Amino acid sequence: MKLAERTQHVAGSFTIGISMMAREMMSQGKDVLNLSVGEPDFKVPERAKHAAVQALELDLTKYDKVPGVLELREAICDKLKTENGLDYTPDQIVVSNGAKQAIMNTLLAVMDPGDEVLLPVPYWTSYPEIVKLCGGTPVYAVPVDTVNYKVTPADLEKVVSEKTRILIFNNPSNPAGTVYNEEEVRAIGEFCLEKGLWLLSDEIYEKFCFVDPCFSVAATSPEVKDITIVVNGLSKSVAMTGLRVGYTASNTKIATAISKMQSHLTSHTSTLSQWVGHDALRYCGEEIDAQIDIYRRRREVMLKKLKTLPDITFLEPDGAFYVMVDFGAYRDKIEYNGSFSVALCRRILEETEVAIVPGIAFGLDNYARIAYVLEEKRLEEGLERIEKFLRSLK
Ligand SMILES: Cc1ncc(COP(=O)(O)O)c(C=O)c1O
């Protein structure tokens, strides 16, 4: 029996794949340092955790509204207003099973099969696959500036076509940690407006900004806000990756279309998770900010330690919690057939028990992505193991 064509064209998630290998090794008793997955290691704040128990006790266990529990959508609107200067009403918010589904919902709502979707390189590994699942074609925009990897209108101009429907803009970016400033963000918004494109602004790492705060493209003008679908969620900022709460904020017409898509896919995310999200947004701001400070320190430790590794360079990240490290100098020291970064990361995992993600997952095969999601001592140990491995290749 034949499987659907799309199972051939859509790749599995590299990040989930490598992380599963790491977990498997851990279950065999190995001391694996998992620096692969984009999952903060802190716990959901107590008050927010309790909201799930309370929701169960109150029997809030039935189907609820497709776009999400109203109180959560109100809390999201307040957050967007106070933190991002954005005015949305609850009917413009759709809560989904993580930001991942929010992205899929959005593409299903705004593009047709055959349409093209612009993706700046390096891109989050799931974007091209979600685009393909929706019948679209990912089109890659490679920035001229390969120091900061910031895409500009001139870079986008080279690849935009009649078929382009939407740009997926990830700020701060996974994997590069790039944070665009207000002027750069404004230029991206104006480009989309001029070309008649939708703009999906994935702001899931907005809390993880270590130099300047993140500026939402939707805040640049009412016209840009109208074409923008802001995607955000609580997986990273509240460390509730497994609870699956993401959302879109958009104009009412798009929100209604997104909600219609979701009504036939998942109805809505778990009501218990939504109540955890509600209490996290309403009552746990201080705890969340304190966790971000821990990440700020880890970033410094990482950058300092990385400077001691032989023959590598890296993109200095201003945000998110990843570093893209260029291992290109080791190309002739590693045997590979196909992808260099896959072979490199496999050897690093097998020989040093440190899990990092091959850069090919993000469109840059000379690189690997290291997530600083463990405590400082463990991070240092991870880099020391990699350093030893690299020195053994010389
Ligand atoms: C850029 C980006 N967008 C979206 C997501 C999806 O997050 P969620 O867990 O909310 O589905 C991730 C997760 O790694 C991500 O890195």
Q: Give the distance, in angstroms, between the CA of residue 340 and the centroid of all CA atoms in the same chain.
A: 24
How many Cβ atoms are within 10 Å of 378's Cβ, its own excluded?
Answer: 17
Same domain, 279 and 147: yes
Q: Is the peptide bond before 175 cis (omega within 30 degrees of 0)?
A: yes
Query: Is 204 a pocket residue for ligand 1 (Cβ < 6 Å)?
Result: yes
Q: Which one-letter amino acid corresponds to residue 246?
A: G
pLDDT band at 380 (very low <50, low <70, confident <90, very high): very high
Model pLDDT for residues 264-316, shown as the tens digit of each residue:
999 999 999 999 999 999 999 999 999 999 999 999 999 999 999 999 999 99
Give the residue from 233, 267, 283 where a domain finishes: 283
Residue 173 Cα: closest atom of ligand 1: 1
pLDDT at res. 28:
92
User: Residue 205: which CATH number?
Assistant: 3.40.640.10
Same domain, 138 and 266: yes
Report yes or no: 194 and 164 within 8 Å, Cβ to Cβ: no
User: Residue 329: which CATH number?
Assistant: 3.90.1150.10
Report yes or no: 130 and 10 within 8 Å, Cβ to Cβ: no
pLDDT at res. 391:
96
Same domain, 265 and 296: no
Which residues form the domain of 20? Answer: 6-43+286-393
Same domain, 335 and 229: no
Same domain, 179 and 250: yes
For residue 44, how far is its CA from the centre of ligand 1 (angstroms)? 17
Same domain, 245 and 152: yes
Same domain, 248 and 99: yes
What are the phi and psi torsion angles at 343 (to 5°)?
-65, -40
Q: Whole-angstrom Cα distance, residue 362 to residue 358?
A: 8
Model pLDDT for residues 41-59, shown as the tens digit of each residue:
899 999 999 999 999 999 9
For residue 394, how far is its CA from the centre of ligand 1 (angstroms)? 37
What are the phi and psi torsion angles at 150 (to 5°)?
-100, 125
Same domain, 215 and 350: no
Tally of domains within the chain: 2
Q: Whole-angstrom Cα distance, residue 290 to residue 69?
A: 27
What are the phi and psi torsion angles at 365 (to 5°)?
-75, -15
Report yes or no: 348 and 354 within 8 Å, Cβ to Cβ: yes
Residue 116 included in any domain: yes
Give the residue from 232, 248, 283 where a domain finishes: 283
Same domain, 101 and 179: yes
Q: What distance separates the 2 farthest-apart alpha carbons in the chain? A: 63
Same domain, 83 and 195: yes
Same domain, 279 and 328: no
Q: pTM of the entire structure?
A: 0.96
Testing ligand 1's pocket by substitution, the residue of 95, 127, 204 carrying the most ligand atoms inside 8 A of its CB is 204
- Burial bucket for residue 83 (CB in 10 Å: 0-12, 13-18, 19+): middle
- Burial bucket for residue 279 (CB in 10 Å: 0-12, 13-18, 19+): buried
For residue 390, how far is its CA from the centre of ligand 1 (angstroms)? 31
Same domain, 16 and 155: no
Query: Is 40 a pocket residue for ligand 1 (Cβ < 6 Å)?
Result: no
Average pLDDT, the chain: 95
For residue 100, how far is its CA from the centre of ligand 1 (angstroms)? 6
Query: Is 99 a pocket residue for ligand 1 (Cβ < 6 Å)?
Result: yes
pLDDT at res. 394:
76
How many Cβ atoms are within 10 Å of 309's Cβ, its own excluded?
Answer: 18
Give the residue from 251, 283, 315 where a domain finishes: 283
If we measure between CA atoms, which residue out of 372, 353, 355 comes closest to residue 314? 372
Residue 365 included in any domain: yes
Sign for the pseudo-dihedral over CA of 286, 291, 295, 296: positive
For residue 125, how far is its CA from the centre of ligand 1 (angstroms)? 10
Which run of H or E residues covers position 233? strand 228-233
Residue 52 included in any domain: no
Which run of H or E residues covers position 290? helix 285-306
